Structure 1
Amino acid sequence: MTVLAVVFAALAAALHVWIFVMESVRWEHPSTRRTFRMSAEDAAATREMAYNQGFYNLFLAVTTTVGLVLLGVDQTDAGRALVFAGCGSMLAAAVVLVVRSPARLRAGVAQGTAPLLAVAFLALSLAV
């Protein structure tokens, strides 16, 4: 179970690094605007908010990655705690997205599936 948790946590971290890139580096790029369904004017108006939000996503990815590294060097308790914190926060953010904007269900599922599976498999590994 731990191997599956690690795989899904790594995927979740990678996705959140990509979200950071889109929000903090490429926010006004046409492909990013298409992804977020935004006009050039809306992207310009929300640039600072997106920049900040992108760093939140990066910090979640870093938290999860540090947890994975700690799991790899046999610091199991600290590693699990950080993976639970990082992936749990990613999952909570996906739930908030869908609850607040049901039309964003697809984005919420994309953002929340890997962290959900990571948390579930990590929890199952504690039970075994």
Structure 2
Amino acid sequence: MIVVAAILAALAALVHVYIFVLETLRWEAPATRRVFGTTAETAAITRSLAANQGVYNLLLAIVTAVGVVLVLVADPTSGERAAGDALLVAGLGSMTVAAAYLIATDRSKARAATVQGIFPVLGLVALAIATLAG
């Protein structure tokens, strides 16, 4: 089950790298503006805010990716494996909370929250099952 958790976590990390690209590198592009429902004027004004948010998404992806590597290569009884589990909980948990906050504060963003949150939630569930199974 740890492999399933790692795959789901890796997918979550990839989604967050994609969000980083949109928010940091492509924020003012017409396709990105359509995704986020912004105008050219709003995108220009909010560029630095979006880029800052994009960096947070990249950092969550990095934390999660390092956790994936550790849980897959470390001895299950080692401290490295425990560190990998902790990084997965931190990364996936933060992604989950961000998605929950998005949907709680703006129901029109339910699709975005689902895209952002489905892999982290499923990854946390799989990690919990793997941990309980020993």
TM range (shorter): over 0.9
* 1:79 Cα deviation from its structure 2 partner: 0.4
The number of equivalent residue pairs is 128
Gaps of 5+ in 1: none
Q: Which residue of 1 aligns with 2:121?
A: 116
70-79 vs 5-14, which moves further: 70-79
Conservation of the 8 A alpha-carbon contact between 2:6 and 2:72? no
**Runs of at least 4 residues of structure 1 off by over 4 A?**
none
* 1:76 Cα deviation from its structure 2 partner: 1.1
Q: Which residue of 1 aligns with 2:44?
A: 44
Over the matched positions of the two proteins, sequence identity in percent amounts to 49
Conservation of the 8 A alpha-carbon contact between 2:2 and 2:71? no
Question: Could you tell me the TM-score, scaled by structure 2's length?
Answer: 0.94
CA distance in 1, matches of 2:69, 2:6: 10
Gaps of 5+ in 2: 75-79
RMSD: 0.6
Conservation of the 8 A alpha-carbon contact between 2:61 and 2:91? yes
User: Is 1:82–2:66 an aligned residue pair?
Assistant: no
Question: Could you tell me the TM-score, scaled by structure 1's length?
Answer: 0.98
Q: Pairwise mapping of residues 1-128 of structure 1 onto structure 2 (< 5 A)?
A: 1-74=1-74, 75-128=80-133
Conservation of the 8 A alpha-carbon contact between 2:67 and 2:85? yes
